[in-house]
Every structure is written in C-alpha cells, then in structure tokens.
Chain A
Amino acid sequence: MSSDAEKKHLKKYTESVLETIRGVEKKKDEPRSQLIAKRDFVIHQNDVHIEIKEGDDVSHVPERYWQNLKTENVI
C-alpha cells in the first residue's frame, strides 16, 4: 500500500472512531426519557417501598422492577 493510501485509510478509520465516541457521548448527555405511570401501584420488597401514583415519572424506579411495571400495565 502506498503512503498516501495508507494515510487516507488511517484518516478514515480515525474519523470513524471519533464518530462512534461522539455518538456515545451525545447519548450520555441526553436527558433520560420519561416513564409516566398509567396507574397507581406499590412496590414492596424487602427494604424497598415505592408508592407510585398515576402520572408519576417512574424512570427513577430501579430497572429490576420495570418488568413488573410492564406486567402490571403501569408503564
């Protein structure tokens, strides 16, 4: 491979990596999308007790309970 071709390839690769990093950073900076409760619900497990009211943003609820919230039609 000629030196020019090599440089061109390296530049393209570098740009690709930077693009990926920028994408990740952008996603990180975006505000977390809101999850709004469609109905009241209470999570009570061990030391966790979370009372959810209809209209509450539940994005702060630990992710391990999201499946419960889906099953219960809360989100």
Chain B
Amino acid sequence: MLDRVRLTYKQQRFETVAVAVVCLGAAAWALLASWHLNSVGVPASCLVDGGVPYWNGPANSSWIPVACQLPSQRFTDALTSLDVGLASSLGDVLPFFVGIAMGAPLVARELEQGTAPLSWALAGARWKWLAGRILAALLLIVPLLLIAGLAADVLRGAQEPGIDPHASFDYFTSRGVFFVLWGVAALMGTVALGTLFGRTMPVVIVALIVCLFARATWERLMDGNLLHGMAVLEMPGVQSPGELLVYQSDVLYLDGKVYTGTDCWVSNGVPGCQYGPGDQPGPSSIGPQLAWYVITGDHYWRVVALESAVMLAGSAALGAFALFWVGRRRPY
C-alpha cells in the first residue's frame, strides 16, 4: 500500500507540489496577516464586544476614547489592507481548489491515457487500487489543509482580538477544521465524478459547479434543518459576541415577555406600531421588538462536531460510490 501511495504522488507530482505550495503559502500568508494585525497592539481596554472599534474617519469616530483612536485607525487600515483581505477570502476557495486539483486526475487521467487496465491488473482488485490512491490524496491534503485552517483561525482571532475563535461562529465554516472537511468532501466528490466520466476536464467543470452550489447553500441548509432545534430565544437588546443567528421570532417581545398589547403587530415578518395618544414608549424603552433564536459561542464545538459528521458522512458516501463504480465501469 505504501508503494501505491508513493507512486500516486509521483504520477501526480505537479498537483502534489502545487497543492503543498499553495496550502503552505496560504498558511504563511494568513499568519503574516495576523502578525500585521497584532503588531498594531490595540489595548484590551479599547475593545468593544471583543472587536476593535471601526475607524470611520475623524468626524464619525469621535465617540472612540482618545487613547483608542490611533490604535483603532491603524487597526482599521490593517484590516482593510489588501493582504489581510485576500488572506481572509482564501477560506472560501482553497479547500475546493485542493480537493478538485487532487481528485480530478486521480482516476480520470488513468482512464483517459489508457493505463487503467494495467494498473487494475497489477493491483489485484480495482477497489484496492482506488483505495490506495484515495488514501494517498487524503494523507497529503488533510495535514496541509489542517495547517491552513488553523492559520485561518489565528487570523480570525487577530481580526477580533477579544473573541476566542473557537467560541465564535463568525465565518466558522471558512476556517479551522472546515478547511479539511470541505477539502475532503471536494476530493471525494471529484473522485466519484472521475470514476463516472473518465475524463479530466469534464470532471473539473462539473466539480467546480457542484462545489459552488454546495458552498453557497450549506449554511442555509444547516440553519434551516440541523441547527433549527438547537437555537434558543434571545431577548431583544441582548447580544453575545460570536453568536450564530439562526432564525427570527414571529412574535414581538417587550421587557423579556411576549408582547400582548394591541398597539404593535407583526405582519409578514415586519413589525409596525400605531400608538394611541399617550401610549408611546418612553425614551429609555426600545419598545416591542422581534427576537432572534441564536446559538451562543460556547456551543461552538458541538455545532462543529455535528456539521463535521454530516460532511464526513457525505464524503464517505461519495467515496463508497467511487469504490463501487470503479469495479463496474469500462476501462476506457
């Protein structure tokens, strides 16, 4: 098996080297961007809800305490700089790039070049041959993506210095272990497509489209189904940093209780009020408001474990399909 793993790397040396260089480069870049942000040295006392107050020009930021103005300005400049912006967006593309680049030629190229029948004969069984190749790809991409994902966690921590990235749902599916999960899912999906099509470019095209759809719909699907039951009611005016907003209530709340008055109503999710004379709330009251059902940051690992399980189950199903299909397909 070890020989097969080594041979796979050698056969796909360009993809192997490219994936390693890109992942390590992305990790180094994210760490440099974190260092760039940390080097501003914003005092902990300047943080608001765990984040650095956003500098919006002198005229609009005079509410920021004097001692915090210069750090806030420098931090905002660093946060909006090109290197930090690019490093932050890598989480949305890197795992898919890695999964597709490694997965597309894994089976399809051998079929395309007509070397598959010989490889299958030498391996003894087609599934054993494919298992060796998948194992090689996993052994390469899992540690590399884990490094890049952890670096993305460090970057998120630098972007919000007062919030533990492992207790915050801010961009949580674009960093940390999700790098590995997305990468493995993209790899398995692409390998399955490769065994179906047997052609590299068609596999790349279809995989790109499928991954785009999967990434764009994932959070909504999770919020709407899996996480719906885990969310708890949070009263209006209350907020905890890093929480995940799952869905909005359809009734109004006032002073921690359901609003039972008749002056305000909710129609199609939009609140409205028609106060009678003298019924208007005082200046210190925010009046009846819609509430949110949320998952707080201390449930981070539970949510990550749940979503990881779903994604790994999907990846395993795709891998199983590839192992099954490779035994039945024509060798060209």
Are chains A and B native binding partners rather than an unrelated pairing?
A: no
Give residues in B with beta carbon < 8 Å to A. Answer: none
